Amino acid sequence: MAAGKEAPMTEDELLKRAADLPPGRVGQLQIADRSYFVKTVETHQKLRLHITKGDPVKALAREVELLRAFAARGAPVARLVAANATHMVLADHGKPVEKLIRHGQVDDALLRQIGAALADLHSRDLAHGRPMLRDICYDGASITFLDLEAGASLNATDRDKARDVLILIYSIMVTTNANQHMARMVIEGYRNAGTDSVWRATRRRSRGLWWLQLLAMPGVWAHRKRGKTRSEMAAVAATRALIAAI
């Protein structure tokens, strides 16, 4: 080993460092020149959360197995460095795209790359389940998807993939205050790399969400009255209108 260089930490050492972090769902480790993200098993304080979200230990174990299975197929997901029953340590894959957009650090090429990355994941018969912009990272070269939780599938149908596309577009419309251009660039990247069958399924699923748009209307009015500029309620209608127009 070259002088001045530390030996890489073992998985057990990384997990011990992870366990020593302050309490919290997500933490970060900085060891020499390497950064890691740590995800800790959730603690449900309320019975309602136990019922709706299930056993948190099983949920973490499932995500670990999904990350391994997605990686085995070459999908652009976070690299799992170490894991046990209570923690998992992930490689640092750059900044969340949501943050980059809010700071004006994206261009059309990156937006198309995001769409193409989701199409690449889908080409392997996989579905992410919830590809929100906060769960997508960019390191200056590559797009990486995080948080494979509820809805992730190893045998994805076109309907599963369509849900991914809908959620991604919706996330863009919320984050950018319904900026159609950004959403269109992501859709262009996806359609250039993806399949027509998934886009047709996306349009069908979008048309079928009329009831969600109706349910969101009271929230839209409340947000307008409060002068809220970024409305997750209004984004429902904006997402459906954009998809219908393409």
Strands (E), 127-232: 136-138, 143-145
- Please list, residue by residue across 80-92, b when 16 or more beta carbons sit within 10 angstroms of its beta carbon and e when fewer do: bbbbbeebbbbeb
pLDDT value of residue 4: 52
For residues 100 and 195, state if they share a domain: yes
Q: Tell me the C-alpha distance between 206 and 67, whole Å.
A: 28
For residues 32 and 102, state if they share a domain: no
SS3 assignment, position 104: coil
Among 47, 66, 91, residue at a domain's last position: 91
Among 60, 76, 91, residue at a domain's last position: 91
For residues 100 and 203, state if they share a domain: yes
Among 72, 91, 110, residue at a domain's last position: 91
Q: Tell me the C-alpha distance between 32 and 220, whole Å.
A: 48
SS3 assignment, position 141: coil
Q: Is residue 236 part of a domain?
A: yes
Would you write out the chain's pLDDT as a tens digit for each of its 246 residues?
Answer: 455 556 678 999 999 999 999 988 899 999 988 999 999 998 755 545 555 566 888 999 999 999 999 999 999 999 999 999 999 999 999 999 999 999 999 999 999 999 999 999 999 999 999 999 999 999 999 999 999 977 899 999 999 999 999 999 999 999 998 899 999 999 999 999 999 999 999 999 999 999 999 999 999 999 989 988 788 999 999 999 999 999
For residues 111 and 229, state if they share a domain: yes
SS3 assignment, position 191: helix
- What CATH number corresponds to the domain at position 136? 1.10.510.10
pLDDT value of residue 1: 45
- What CATH number corresponds to the domain at position 84? 3.30.200.20
Q: Is residue 117 part of a domain?
A: yes
Q: Following CA atoms 230, 118, 27, 103 in sequence, which dihedral angle do they give, to the nearest 10 degrees?
A: -40
For residues 229 and 166, state if they share a domain: yes
Residue 42: domain span: 11-91
For residues 84 and 99, state if they share a domain: no
Q: Is residue 106 part of a domain?
A: yes
Contact 133, 98 (CB under 8 A): yes
Count of structural domains within the chain: 2
Reported as half-sphere exposure (CB side, CA atoms, 13 A), residue 83 has a value of 19
pTM metric for this prediction? 0.91
For residues 110 and 167, state if they share a domain: yes
